[in-house]
Amino acid sequence: MTSALVFLAAEGEKENPLIPPWPEVVIGLIAFVIVFGFLAKKLLPTINKVLEERREAIEGGIEKAEAAQTEAQSVLEQYKAQLAEARHEAARLRQEAQEQGATLIAEMRAEGQRQREEIVAAGHTQIEADRKAASSALRQDVGKLATVLAGKLVGESLEDHARQSRVIDRFLDELEEKAEASR
Amino acid sequence: MSADPTQVLAFETDCHLFDGCGFPAPGLHSFLFEPLLGDADGNGLYFNKPMLLALLGSIIVVGFFWAAFARPKLIPGKLQMVAEAGYDFVRRGIVYETIGKKEGEKYVPFAVSLFFFIWMMNLWSIIPVAAFPVTSIIAYPAILALLVYITWVSLTFKRHGFVGAFKNFTGYDKSLGPVLPLAMTIEFFSNLVVRPFTHAVRLFANMFAGHTLLLLFTIASWYMLNGIGIAYSAVSFVMVIVMTAFELFIQAVQAYVFVLLTCTFIQGALAEHH
How do the domains of chain A map onto residue ranges?
20-182
Q: Over 80: is that where the pLDDT of B3 sits? A: no
Euclidean distance between CA atoms B188 and B169, whole angstroms: 5
pTM here?
0.71
CB contact under 8 A, B117 and A32: yes
How do the domains of chain B map onto residue ranges?
11-270
Whether A61 has its CB under 8 Å from any CB of chain B: the answer is: no
pLDDT mean over B98-121: 93
CB contact under 8 A, B54 and A15: no
Q: Over 70: is that where the pLDDT of B40 sits? A: no
Instruction: Give me the pLDDT at residue B49, please.
Output: 87
pLDDT tens track for B198-232: 999 999 999 999 999 999 998 888 888 887 888 88
Q: How many residues does chain B have?
A: 274
CB contact under 8 A, A32 and B44: no
B55 φ, ψ to 5°? -70, -40
Output the CA–CA distances (angstroms, integers) from residue A130 to A117, A127, A133, in the order listed: 19, 5, 5
Instruction: Give me the pLDDT at residue B70, please.
Output: 87
Residues of A in contact with B109 (CB under 8 A): 36, 39-40, 44
Q: What is the ipTM of this complex?
A: 0.87
pLDDT tens track for A38-82: 999 999 999 999 999 998 999 988 999 999 999 999 999 999 999
Residues of A in contact with B69 (CB under 8 A): 43-44, 46-47
Following CA atoms A143, A148, A152, A154 in sequence, which dihedral angle do they give, to the nearest 10 degrees? 40
Q: Which residue of B has its CA nearest to A29?
A: B143
Residues of B in contact with A21 (CB under 8 A): 40, 139
User: How far is A86 from chain B, CA to nearest CA, in Å?
Assistant: 50
Following CA atoms B259, B264, B268, B271 in sequence, which dihedral angle do they give, to the nearest 10 degrees? 110
Euclidean distance between CA atoms B252 and A7, whole angstroms: 34
Q: Over 80: is that where the pLDDT of B235 sits? A: yes
Residues B248/B126, Cβ–Cβ less than 8 Å: yes
The proportion of chain B whose per-residue pLDDT surpasses 90, expressed as a percent, equals 55
Residues B117/A32, Cβ–Cβ less than 8 Å: yes
Report angle CA B202, B157, B141 to the nearest 5 degrees: 20
Query: Residue B265 — very low, low, confident or very high, per pLDDT cuts 50/70/90?
Result: very high
CB contact under 8 A, A29 and B143: yes
Q: Over 90: is that where the pLDDT of A83 sits? A: yes
Euclidean distance between CA atoms A131 and B271, whole angstroms: 132
Residues A7/B4, Cβ–Cβ less than 8 Å: no
Residues of B in contact with A50 (CB under 8 A): 72-74
Query: Residue B22 — very low, low, confident or very high, per pLDDT cuts 50/70/90?
Result: confident
Residues of A in contact with B3 (CB under 8 A): none
Query: Residue B1 — very low, low, confident or very high, per pLDDT cuts 50/70/90?
Result: very low
Instruction: Give me the pLDDT at residue A36, please.
Output: 95
Q: Which helix (H) or strand (E) holds B47?
A: strand B46-47
Q: How many residues does chain A have?
A: 183
The chain-wide mean pLDDT, for chain B, equals 87
Residue B29: CB atoms within 10 A of its CB come to 19
pLDDT tens track for A127-153: 999 888 888 887 777 777 777 767 766
Whether A90 has its CB under 8 Å from any CB of chain B: the answer is: no
pLDDT mean over B142-159: 94
CB contact under 8 A, A25 and B46: no
User: How far is B22 from chain A, CA to nearest CA, in Å?
Assistant: 12
Output the CA–CA distances (angstroms, integers) from residue B274 to B60, B88, B268, in the order listed: 44, 32, 12
